[in-house]
């Protein structure tokens, strides 16, 4: 039986290792990236590099998009050279970006009018998860489409969760970002408190991380906070984009999210220093300044 043919759009920090895992799983991949050089590295691994999203979709059974923001997804799917003009009826578009749930539903409707199915399937797990193929994938759309695409998703992720209809994958991803925001603040506060008390933050993380307060953020990003290692696994500016989506959705549903709103404002202070391309662990800088910790 022939392998599912993949069109892959967006070979950035997350997309490139995800496309690489599809190639390693034996899927034929046609890759597009706006900056072509970022896709060309995959050519030596078997990918066919193309010049537009439309071309990436032309022969594909499944088209995957993972780009930065809502307007970018609209452009690569619905734009003049977008997927919608190349994909044939019966194909599936899987958007793995984190974008507006409302826009996701509109894109799904536009694709459905052409006989093209869609899943919104944002991911969690950062660059490490993308490299190792252990991402958590939260999917919205028709269940039968999700099940049909399971082998493709399994090449990139370890935990696949069907969340409901179109847009619900995005809603669950926003829940993830709400929880991450509060965890980042808690870890940063603990690191700064320890340092102010004259305790090596690494010692604190070793003790706390093994107990009830342990979390992925404490155990993975906590040591980076302590070491002032701000190399991005996930950039501040992208976290801010996600938190803007959170606050917009919360406003539409009349949901109060004081914790997420506070972290959103603290990250604004990080961005004001020109550090939007640093990893989200850079939040600790703001807390250090507030506590006069050098």
Active-site residues, by number, are: 173
Q: Which residue has the tokens 């959705």?
A: 249
Q: Which residue has the tokens 């709400």?
A: 178
- Alpha-carbon span 163 to 169, nearest angstrom: 6
CB-CB contact of 169 with 140 (8 Å): yes
CB-CB contact of 155 with 62 (8 Å): no
Say how many CA atoms lie within 13 Å of 86 toward its Cβ. Answer: 26
Residue 248 Cα to chain centre, angstroms:
18
Tokens of 142: 């028709």
| Distant-in-sequence, close-in-space partners of 232: CB < 8 Å, separation ≥ 6 | 13, 127, 277, 278, 279, 280
Q: What are phi and psi of 84, to 5 degrees?
A: -60, -25
108: exposed, middle or buried (C-beta count within 10 Å: 0-12, 13-18, 19+)? buried
Q: Residue 207's CB: how many other CB atoms inside 10 A? A: 13
- Alpha-carbon span 11 to 37, nearest angstrom: 10
CB-CB contact of 57 with 95 (8 Å): no
Angle between helices 168-196 and 258-272 (to 10 degrees): 70
């Amino acid at each position: 039986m022939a392998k599912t043919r993949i069109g892959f759009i967006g070979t950035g920090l997350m997309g490139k290792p995800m496309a690489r895992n599809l190639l390693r799983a034996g899927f034929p991949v046609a890759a597009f990236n706006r900056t072509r050089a970022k896709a060309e590295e995959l050519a030596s691994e078997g990918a066919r590099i193309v010049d537009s999203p439309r071309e990436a979709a032309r022969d594909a059974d499944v088209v995957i998009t993972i780009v930065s923001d809502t307007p970018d997804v609209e452009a690569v799917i619905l734009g003049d050279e977008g997927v919608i003009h190349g994909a044939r009826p019966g194909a599936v578009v899987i958007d793995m970006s984190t974008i507006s749930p409302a826009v996701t539903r509109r894109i799904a409707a536009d694709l459905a009018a052409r006989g093209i199915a869609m899943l919104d399937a944002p991911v969690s797990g950062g660059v490490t998860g993308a490299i190792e193929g252990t991402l958590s994938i939260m999917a919205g759309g028709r269940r039968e489409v999700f099940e049909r695409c399971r082998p493709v998703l399994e090449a990139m992720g370890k935990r696949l969760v069907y969340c409901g209809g179109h847009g619900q994958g995005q809603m669950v991803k926003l829940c993830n970002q709400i929880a991450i925001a509060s965890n980042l603040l808690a870890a940063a506060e603990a690191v700064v408190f320890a340092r102010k008390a004259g305790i090596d933050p690494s010692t604190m993380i070793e003790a706390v991380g093994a107990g009830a307060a342990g979390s992925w953020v404490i155990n993975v990003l906590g040591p980076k906070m302590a070491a002032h290692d701000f190399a991005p696994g996930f950039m501040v500016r992208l976290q801010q984009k996600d938190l803007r989506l959170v606050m917009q959705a919360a406003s539409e549903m009349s949901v109060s999210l004081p914790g997420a709103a506070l972290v959103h404002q603290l990250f604004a202070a990080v961005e004001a220093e020109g550090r939007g391309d640093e990893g989200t662990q850079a939040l600790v800088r703001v807390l250090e300044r507030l506590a006069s910790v050098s």
